[in-house]
Chains A and B, each alone.
Chain A
Amino acid sequence: MNQLLEISFSSLASSIHSWLSSAIANATILNVVEMAIAGVCLLVFLVPLCFVLGYMERKVAAFMQLRLGPNRVGPKGTLQIVADTVKLIFKEGLTPNASDKFLFNLAPIIVVVVSMLVMAPIAFAKNFQLWDLNIGVLYVTSISSIAVIGILMAGWSSYNKYSLLGAMRSGAQIVSYELSVGLSIISIVIMTGSLKISDIVMSQADGWWIFKGHLPIFISFVIFVIASTAEINRAPFDLSEAEQELTGGFHTEYSGMKFAMFLLAEYINLFVVSAMAATLFLGGWMPFHIGHWEAFNHIMDFIPSSLWFLGKTFAIIFIIMQFRWTFPRLRVDQLLNLEWKYLLPISMVNIILVTIMAIMGWYL
């Protein structure tokens, strides 16, 4: 059993590191090689992840709408998404004549690169993290807001009124909802006293924040999920690509692989947001522990930390998908009302409550 527990992502990473450092003497080259390996691993992880999320989305959508979903290609339709990807690869990537060609081609790359950059500080398993920087949470919030530049760029350079409208809506939406996301993240930072992701996860060893933090943290969890759904432009907040009004919004003019990159970025963003929610509120890779139940806690420890992390993340992804297939889309004025009249005041009051709780030590 001990032998089995030894095999973990962190031990794998450290053994690769020690093997590489014995093989390569120069520290700079070693760093570069390790970065390249990490980047390749991330890509190898992300592409199948997007397949899984695409399949999951279509199946969840189908079951919630009393349909069957993809069920022809491969067992239970699992290869449908592969077939779709192959189709997208073979399609022609059109560039409109009047568009700004440089920005038009740059925009999907920026959107994808930004969503991949955000993966860096996420703790996938125990001691397994690409980059455990000391301002991890700040890094995630600041980098993820660059994505709006990519979307604005796509909308502006397409030379299409629908694209421009979609991009403008997206700008208004992301800028507004960033505030609520930031404030609900700050409530966790106040409780933990650190911006470092590994510290935040370690602070939840004796209970996840959503249980330890009582009502105020629960409220900020709900606000985080709602506001981050808006931030990644998913329904019911998908105003920037509202098919019925804007024929696709900012990606109206995109086709082929360029369109696939927007899709890829959407799914990576979905994963990142859910992973952040799991890390901040549900304890990241931390197993579920109850106070002093030693036996129960020990059994929970046997489940690998990566499974805990992925389980929590996929639970939140499922909830966000359920939002998409349950709620109707908001109008622009309703969207901004929700943020500025409800979410922002509530999260501001909530911050005060959390601060009082943290000062008085009214948590477990």
Chain B
Amino acid sequence: MFLKDYFGTIFKSIKSLLTGMRKTGYYFTHPKEILTEEYPDNRATLKMFDRFKGEVTMPHNENNEHRCTGCQACEIACPNGTIKIITKQEIKEDGKKKKAIEAFVYHLELCTLCNNCITSCPSDAIVMAQTYEHSVYDKTQLKKILNKPGSKIMEGVE
């Protein structure tokens, strides 16, 4: 019984060691399996996956219109005060006043990319972009105004 256990251990361990060596041998002889991204060189072809969170952006359509109503839900949802929304009162044709955004200020240097602003937005005005190169020489360059100059709210978004 003892001898059976003894040799059983030996054969079992040799088998498991050989399994491991077979795996590394396979990887050694198949360079196609290599996972390394040669980053600065493959900048042109590097594509980030859909759920990658790079920075908050506000998409505009071809008429320079966005979907932001200025409700400030994102500003309330933000845990560390990354978003500041400056609003103004617009007077429409029928004489009614309406709230609109003057500027959507976004501080990338404070942002933790937690995605809370995007989930809290009722009108889907902001999305996460797949950009990944954010380094700048001065942190003031990371303060961004997301709505483009002269843009206005899209028709039909309340």
Contact = CB atoms under 8 A, between A and B. Distances in A.
Interface of A: 60, 63-68, 322-323, 325-327, 342, 346
B34 A326 contact: no
A68 B32 CA distance: 11
B36 A322 contact: no
B27 A66 contact: yes
B28 A342 contact: no
16 contacts: A60-B28, A63-B34, A64-B24, A64-B27, A65-B27, A66-B27, A66-B36, A67-B34, A68-B34, A68-B36, A322-B21, A322-B24, A322-B25, A326-B17, A326-B20, A327-B17
B138 interface: no
A326 B21 contact: yes
Interface in B29-68: 31, 33-36, 38
A346 B34 CA distance: 40
Contacts, number: 35
A63 B36 CA distance: 10
B23 interface: yes
Interface string B108-131: 000000000000000000000000
A65 B35 CA distance: 9
A328 to B, nearest CB: 9
B10 A63 contact: no
A63 B25 contact: no
Contacts of A68: 34, 36, 38
A342 B28 CA distance: 30
Contacts of A65: 27
Contacts of A66: 27, 33-36
Contacts of A326: 17, 20-21, 23-24
A361 to B, nearest CB: 29
> Contact residue range for chain B?
10 to 19
Nearest to B33: A66
A68 B28 CA distance: 11
Nearest to B21: A326
Contacts of B31: 63
Contacts of B28: 60, 63-64, 322
Nearest to B31: A63
Contacts of B17: 326-327
A68 B34 CA distance: 7
B23 to A, nearest CB: 7
B31 to A, nearest CB: 7
Contact of B27 (A63, A323, A327, A346): A63
A342 B6 CA distance: 9
B35 A327 contact: no
B35 A67 contact: yes
A256 B71 CA distance: 63
Nearest to B34: A66
A326 B36 CA distance: 19
Contact of A325 (B24, B33, B35): B24
A83 B28 CA distance: 25
Given A66-B33, A346-B10, 4 more contacts: A63-B31, A66-B27, A68-B36, A322-B24
A278 B38 CA distance: 39
Contacts of A67: 34-36
A327 B13 CA distance: 12
B106 to A, nearest CB: 37
B34 A327 contact: no
B11 to A, nearest CB: 12
A325 B27 CA distance: 11
A323 B17 CA distance: 9
A322 B38 CA distance: 25
Contacts of A325: 24
Contacts of A342: 10
A325 B23 CA distance: 11
A327 B20 contact: yes
Nearest to A325: B24
B142 to A, nearest CB: 30
A346 B9 CA distance: 13
A48 B35 CA distance: 31
Contacts of B35: 66-67
A201 B28 CA distance: 32
7 tightest A-B contacts by CB? Answer: A64-B24, A326-B24, A68-B36, A326-B20, A66-B35, A63-B28, A326-B21
A60 B29 CA distance: 10
Contacts of B33: 66
| Residue of A68, A322, A326 contacting most chain B CB atoms (<10 Å) | A326
B92 to A, nearest CB: 61
B60 to A, nearest CB: 41
A218 to B, nearest CB: 13
A215 to B, nearest CB: 14
B82 to A, nearest CB: 36
